[in-house]
Amino acid sequence: MQQIIRVDMLSGNASSLDLPSKYLNYGGRALTSKILSDEVPANSNPLGKNNKCVIATGLFAGSPFPCSNRCSIGAKSPLTGGIKESNVGGMVAFKLSKLNIQAVIIEEQPSESTGLYILKLEETGGHLISASEYSGYTTYSLASALKQRFGKKIGLLMIGPAGELQLSAAGIAATDLHGNPCDYAGRGGMGAVLGSKQLKAIVIDDLGIQNVSDYVDRQKFTSISKAFTRKLKETKKDLHKFGTPIEIEMSNEFGYLPTRNFSTGCFEGASKIGGEAMRQRIKERKGPGGTSCMPGCPISCKHTYVDSQSQYVTSSLEYETIALLGSNCGIDDLDAIAEMDRLCDEIGLDTMEMGAAIGVAMEADQLSFGDAKGAIALLKEIPKNTPMARIIGNGAEITGKIFGVKRVPVIKGQGMAGYDPRANKGIGVTYTTSPMGADHTAGCVTPGRKGFDHNKEYDVLKPDCQEELSLDLQVMVAILDAMGICFFVGLDTTTLKILVELHNAKYGQNIIFDNLVELGEQMLVVEHKFNLAAGKPVVERMPEFFEIEPLPPHKTVYDVRSELVITEMSNKLGLK
């Protein structure tokens, strides 16, 4: 029987419980959102004792199916004020599955005088360890210290100084296959929630434990998984070769690459910071090629960036990071962007939210667009807890309010991802309707991507039927999040039909495609109902400047009609 570890930070007790029967068909985001909906009052303070942080593995964690070891981390968000799930690769889900742990629930708060804690998870369960000596540690320093203390092969989740300061842009770092804390559950301020619980790190020790997952039909599950792995190796060669930064060139070509605080969709320095430029830079410096962000990933789109002396800088220089810290801030220097990424990782900050906030600060003339040294200095100030640090560290919306900026690219309090909604209208619908705020992974619309109707074509520059496409993709993503699967495996009905076969081979429940779709839809309903109870609308209006300022080069505005979006959401999900 799968276990839930329930950790009461007030009493200091960590209890191992059988997964309740009502949660047996839930994993990943489906489980985090369901537990939060059941147990957290929607009107609770995100940084108060009534909020909970839930960590859950997907339904296929530890299995041979490729890219199935992503981990979901959920809580009421201090950034959006609603329900939030942020998922991450690394070693966490794989190691938790070996310990037979489906979820970890962090609840209550200790008294402030007791200091920081570490949660140690092992075969016998979980227990809290006093950890005040690690106060102020950056994630890289902490990872080194904890591996020396508990063993090199442990898995780690941890917060940096930003999480301890409970800044709304704080994320939670996970160690990758090489032990570096560079994989992030970055979005929504999950690190601040963990900081409010005074939990500095979670240590996962699975040493000597064999993976003993049960399968109704192991042979069929393995056969499907091997065939799908071969397909991914063949079809994802460019993603492996160049990593996600290859999207910089594509976004620039389509005219929706955020540039200088979303003032234009093209960046003249795009060729200097894209996938080809990064690959060439790494190659010249004799850095390694593509690697996996989690066990069982054949795509290996993650690239290790090295400095001029071939020394490691970061392994998380992804598209979104480059778009927000790079073009959005007018910065075309990969070395500078890599340094900012490393600083965010060490301090424990979401690179997207930081890029959006710094872009807004540049709009307010606190520093100039293109000022990489100024941006780096600003990030270095955050652990010092100065007034400016707290402004930037709490995200783009707060930064805009403090400095009186009208052009602030946020939805539900969260900075937008790396796609301008005026030239990618479908992603704009996702921003305004997702329970998660302006999060591209909640329903990523890109040119050529389709919904459930394979025969229907969509043009990202036109408003027609974008509400339908966005909602279809939001449902698909929710399903993949429940399974713990990276959506690079394929955000389409073909992949979902394979998941039906896999689910039946593992669990023997004989579900059909419609059951999977219903799961995704119900996940969105649960999340939206939580948000409604928290006073958050199902559809939030796009910031006004997107509706009235034409975006170069297409000279388009965001013109998807809100009433059509509301009707589509209400009819399909039954929301009022």
- Whole-model pTM: value is 0.97
User: If DSSP codes are grouped into helix, strand and coil, which group holds residue 362?
Assistant: helix
Q: Cα dihedral sign for 448, 454, 457, 461?
A: negative
Structure tokens at 52: 């909970």
> Among 46-55, 139-148, 207-216, 529-538, whose mean pLDDT is lowest?
207-216
**Per-residue pLDDT tens digits for 32-59:** 999 999 999 999 999 999 999 999 999 9
Question: Mean of the pLDDT values across residues 192-212?
Answer: 94
pLDDT value at residue 203: 98
Number of other residues whose CB lies within 10 A of the CB of residue 270: 22
What pLDDT sits at residue 205?
97
Position 128 pLDDT exceeds 70: yes
Q: What is the pLDDT of residue 285?
A: 96
- What are 132-174's pLDDT values in tens digits? 999 999 999 999 999 999 999 999 999 999 999 999 999 999 9
Q: In this model, does residue 516 exceed pLDDT 90?
A: yes
Alpha-helical regions (H) of 382-465: 387-393, 396-403, 425-433
- Residue 322, C-beta contacts closer than 8 angstroms, at least 6 positions apart: 245, 248, 273, 274, 334, 337
Q: At residue 405, does pLDDT exceed 70?
A: yes
* Interval 347-384: pLDDT, tens: 999 999 999 999 999 999 999 999 999 999 999 999 99
d(CA 407, CA 409) in angstroms, rounded, equals 6
| pLDDT, the chain, mean | 95
Among 298, 296, 344, 297, smallest CA distance to 318 is for: 344
Q: What is the pLDDT of residues 228-247, one digit of tens each?
A: 999 999 999 999 999 999 99
**Which residues, including other chains, have CB under 8 Å from residue 362's CB and lie 6 or more apart?**
260, 261, 329, 330, 368, 369, 371
Question: Span 287-312, mean pLDDT?
Answer: 92
Residue 149: in which H helix or E strand, if any? helix 139-150
Count CB-CB contacts under 10 A for residue 507.
16
Q: Is the pLDDT of residue 544 over 90?
A: yes
For residues 199 and 10, is the Cβ–Cβ distance under 8 A? no
User: What was the pLDDT predicted at 572?
Assistant: 81
- Going along the chain from its start, the domains and CATH numbers come out as 3-204 (3.60.9.10), 237-415 (1.10.569.10), 425-573 (1.10.599.10)
User: Given this model, what pLDDT does residue 99 score?
Assistant: 96
pLDDT at site 576: 63
493 has a pLDDT exceeding 80? yes
Burial of 500 (0-12, 13-18, 19+ CB in 10 A): middle
Q: How confident is the model at residue 263 (pLDDT cuts 50, 70, 90)?
A: very high
Q: Is the pLDDT of residue 449 over 90?
A: yes
High-pLDDT (> 90) share of the chain, %: 93
CA 169 – CA 164 distance, rounded (Å): 12
